[in-house]
Structure formats: C-alpha cells, structure tokens
C-alpha cells in the first residue's frame, strides 16, 4: 500500500493537483486544498505552524509513511508539506493510508 500512495502522489503532481512546500500549501488553504500531507520526518515546529494555518480550513491532514528523502525520490522534490487539490484523489489517498495503517497494526499484534 505504501507504494500506491506515492504512485497516486505522482499522478497528482503530473495532473497539477499537488502543492509542494510550506508556502504553496499555505496559499491554497481555504481555496483548493482538499488534503494536507506531512512527511514522517517533518519538524514538530513546522507541522504545528502549518496546522495552525490550516485550523480554519476544512481539509483533513495525514502524516505519510515517507520521509522527505523518499518523497524526493518519488516526486522529484524534497518536501515535508504537501497538499492534494483534487477531491477524488484526496479521498483515495485517505483510503490507502487507512488500509496501510490497519495492516501495520495487524502486523504488530502477530
């Protein structure tokens, strides 16, 4: 599932439905951002600042199972904050993230 999320992010990028970086994401909050995403190695201060900016936005937020370096390899840009602007793609990423999280929890209980 982990690879599927990165693949969908690549599709989002090619379709122009992905904002990359703190400032572009902050600009899109309240406009077109449907899903706010964080790398798993984002600094707590940066994440807190973005969540404060997003507090008025209806967009959901998730922490991805990828580091900024893994996002660099998959998307061509090293970022810790991303946003999906397409509702359908955002919903699919949320589904995959939930499934991956559930699978990881099952692995831990075995």
User: What local confidence, expressed as pLDDT, does residue 1 receive?
Assistant: 43
User: What local confidence, expressed as pLDDT, does residue 101 receive?
Assistant: 72
Annotated domain spans of the chain: 2-105
Q: What is the mean pLDDT of residues 24-38?
A: 96
Place of tokens 């404060």: 52
pTM score, whole prediction: 0.89
- CATH no. of 2-105: 3.30.1330.30
User: What local confidence, expressed as pLDDT, does residue 3 receive?
Assistant: 63
Q: What is the mean pLDDT of residues 32-57?
A: 96
Q: What is the mean pLDDT of residues 58-80?
A: 95
* Residue 8 CA from chain centroid, whole number: 11
- Phi–psi pair at 37, nearest 5 degrees: -125, 145
Average pLDDT, the chain: 91
């Amino acid at each position: 599932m982990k690879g599927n999320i990165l693949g969908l992010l690549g599709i989002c990028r090619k379709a122009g439905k992905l904002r990359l970086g703190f400032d572009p994401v902050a600009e899109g909050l309240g406009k077109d951002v449907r899903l706010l995403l964080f790398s798993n190695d984002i600094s707590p201060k940066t994440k807190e600042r973005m969540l404060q900016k997003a507090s008025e936005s209806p967009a959901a937020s998730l922490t991805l199972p990828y580091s900024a370096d893994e996002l660099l390899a998959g998307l061509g840009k090293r970022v810790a904050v991303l946003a999906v602007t397409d509702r359908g793609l955002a919903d699919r990423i949320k589904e995959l993230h939930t499934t991956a999280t559930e699978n990881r929890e099952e692995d831990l209980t075995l």
